[in-house]
A and B are shown apart, each in its own frame.
Chain A
Amino acid sequence: AQTVTQSQPEMSVQEAETVTLSCTYDTSESNYYLFWYKQPPSRQMILVIRQEAYKQQNATENRFSVNFQKAAKSFSLKISDSQLGDTAMYFCAFMIGGNQFYFGTGTSLTVIP
């Protein structure tokens, strides 16, 4: 079975500080892709960052970066210089077979001014 676990239902961070959201997953597949999606109060799901499992180099998108540990099946998201607009629900997900997605239950992040 494919599973994604986000063990932190809620987190908060002070504006301009750094926060890390954790995610672990389980799959027997060797070829897959990992994603973090952001869902602000507007409800729209926005892709934050993606990582190919076959790449060892961690993906980075501006203030967002991941720490991908394939052997540990861990895929954490680091947000640097947190901004008020980062307040959102964050979902970790992985994809296998080119079209089958599996989502975690989400982490609600609040950035405190």
Chain B
Amino acid sequence: DAGITQSPRHKVTETGTPVTLRCHQTENHRYMYWYRQDPGHGLRLIHYSYGVKDTDKGEVSDGYSVSRSKTEDFLLTLESATSSQTSVYFCATSAGGSYGYTFGSGTRLTVV
């Protein structure tokens, strides 16, 4: 995953505070995704982007927003963090076609 960097790797934050997670890619992939991973739920799509400034909602988008001002960066913002947003967040990229995703190493977010 040398081409995808997520930051921070770990974060603890308080309920009600805004949080931004960053995904940076050097793959020049068109598509970028944010997932959350929770036990018993697998990976659930939060938001995705199919180009600069082109984003759309996934199945669990409530409470999250995203921005993509450059091809290489995809930001996920929790406007007002809640304990239910404690999770591991993964960024993934894809060039499209049949080769699947390239994943970042994940961010473990704890909301206390």
- B90 and A45 form a contact (CB under 8 A): yes
Chain A residues with CB under 8 Å of B103's CB are 44-45
Shortest CB distance B58–A (Å): 10
Chain A residues with CB under 8 Å of B96's CB are 98-99
The number of A-B residue pairs with CB atoms under 8 Å apart is 51
Interface residues on A, range: 20 to 34
For B38, the closest partner residue in chain A by CB is A105
- A43 and B43 form a contact (CB under 8 A): no
In Å, the complex CA distance between A9 and B90 comes to 21
The answer, among A43, A50, A91, A103, for a CB contact under 8 Å with B105, is: A43
Contact with A along B20-57 (1 / 0, CB 8 A): 00000000000101000000111111001010000000
Count residues on chain B whose CB falls below 8 Å from chain A CBs. 25
Question: Contacts A43-B106, A44-B105, A99-B31: A50 and B100 contacting too (C-beta < 8 A)?
Answer: yes
- A99 and B42 form a contact (CB under 8 A): no
Shortest CB distance A98–B (Å): 4
For B9, the closest partner residue in chain A by CB is A43
Q: Is B62 an interface residue (CB 8 A)?
A: no
Q: Is A95 an interface residue (CB 8 A)?
A: yes
Chain B residues with CB under 8 Å of A101's CB are 33, 45, 92, 100-101
- B positions within 8 Å CB-CB of A: 1, 31, 33, 40-45, 48, 50, 88, 90, 92, 94, 96-101, 103, 105-106, 108
Supply 23 A–B pairs (Cβ within 8 Å), ascending by A.
A43-B88, A43-B105, A43-B106, A43-B108, A45-B90, A45-B101, A45-B103, A47-B101, A50-B98, A50-B99, A50-B100, A52-B98, A95-B98, A98-B97, A99-B48, A99-B50, A101-B92, A101-B100, A103-B43, A103-B44, A105-B40, A105-B42, A106-B42
